[in-house]
Amino acid sequence: MTKRTSLSIFSSVVFALFLREVQTRFGTKRLGYFWAIIDPLSMVIIFSLVKSALADKSMPGIDYPVFLATGFLTFNFFKAVMNGSMSSFDANRALFSYKQVKPVDTLFSRFLLEFLVMFAAIIVFICFGMYVGFSIIPKDFSMVLFAVVWLGVFAFGIGILFAVIASFYETFAKIISFLSTPLFFLSGLLYTVESLPQTAREIVLYNPVIHFIEMIHGNYFLVLDTQYVDYEYMMYWTVIPLFFGLYFYKKSQNKILSS
């Protein structure tokens, strides 16, 4: 048997796992990929209706459904990567019998899938928005794209750190999924940071996710800006979890494989 480089092994394993995830997700859950569209779409509709029912006239110059959609799609991606990572090792445990398959490969393949699912959902939403006649052209497309990619790196770092912790402390995954419900309301999906009172503003800005959502919103809509986005704070939240995630993973890879 010819020796393969570790990079070619890595890429073929991630690709194989990716195709496997693609096949199984469609097979096991009936709604499969449609859920990635239906979930944010229903949210957009519900909250848009609530807002018009309340005759809320805030956010002039913005199509509120577009505001909601940009937030939900990216937030769902983040949540899917975070939660998916924690169940990834256990879900693929059987495959660790193949020497080439390392636990971290499963994180990469899931991340890749979630990223593409988000991308597909975005395209569907754009088509939908254009059909309905919303103004969907972003103010600064490249900055929006940059924010989304950065969010991806942030999500991956959190994902690998949480995956390693969850593999040693089972309750950790439960705690995180418990916390991700309030996170929905604290991430600036329904409102801008600007619109909050001073004290509330200070509190929500401790949440790193809201900075990413603000950065996306601020660069997307003409009337919004990114004055509350703290790039340094985002950088810490990206680099530190990623570093510790990779470090702890490296140290405990064999333990994860043996358990």
The site for other proteins (CB under 8 A) is made up of: 1, 4, 8-9, 12-13, 15-17, 19-20, 23-24, 27-28, 94-101, 254-255, 257-258
Dihedral sign for Cα atoms in the order 137, 143, 149, 153:
negative
Closest distance between other proteins and the C-beta of residue 240, in Å? 28
CA distance 52 to 41: 17
Closest distance between other proteins and the C-beta of residue 90, in Å? 13
Q: Which is nearer to other proteins, 20 or 139 (CB)?
A: 20
Closest distance between other proteins and the C-beta of residue 16, in Å? 3
Closest distance between other proteins and the C-beta of residue 9, in Å? 7
Is there a contact between 101 and 13 (Cβ–Cβ < 8 Å)?
yes
Closest distance between other proteins and the C-beta of residue 243, in Å? 24
Q: Which is nearer to other proteins, 8 or 135 (CB)?
A: 8
Which helix or strand (DSSP H or E) is residue 79 part of?
A: helix 64-91
CA distance 69 to 123: 12
Closest distance between other proteins and the C-beta of residue 203, in Å? 43
CA distance 13 to 1: 17
Start-end of H helices in 133-207: 141-168, 170-185, 198-204
CA distance 29 to 201: 39
Is there a contact between 154 and 237 (Cβ–Cβ < 8 Å)?
yes
Instruction: Name 142's Cβ contacts closer than 8 Å, sequence gap at least 6.
Output: none
Q: Which is nearer to other proteins, 70 or 109 (CB)?
A: 109
Q: Which is nearer to other proteins, 12 or 58 (CB)?
A: 12
Is there a contact between 143 and 219 (Cβ–Cβ < 8 Å)?
yes
Q: Which is nearer to other proteins, 90 or 225 (CB)?
A: 90
Q: Which is nearer to other proteins, 2 or 181 (CB)?
A: 2
Q: Which is nearer to other proteins, 18 or 212 (CB)?
A: 18
Is there a contact between 211 and 150 (Cβ–Cβ < 8 Å)?
no
Closest distance between other proteins and the C-beta of residue 101, in Å? 6
Which helix or strand (DSSP H or E) is residue 186 part of?
A: none
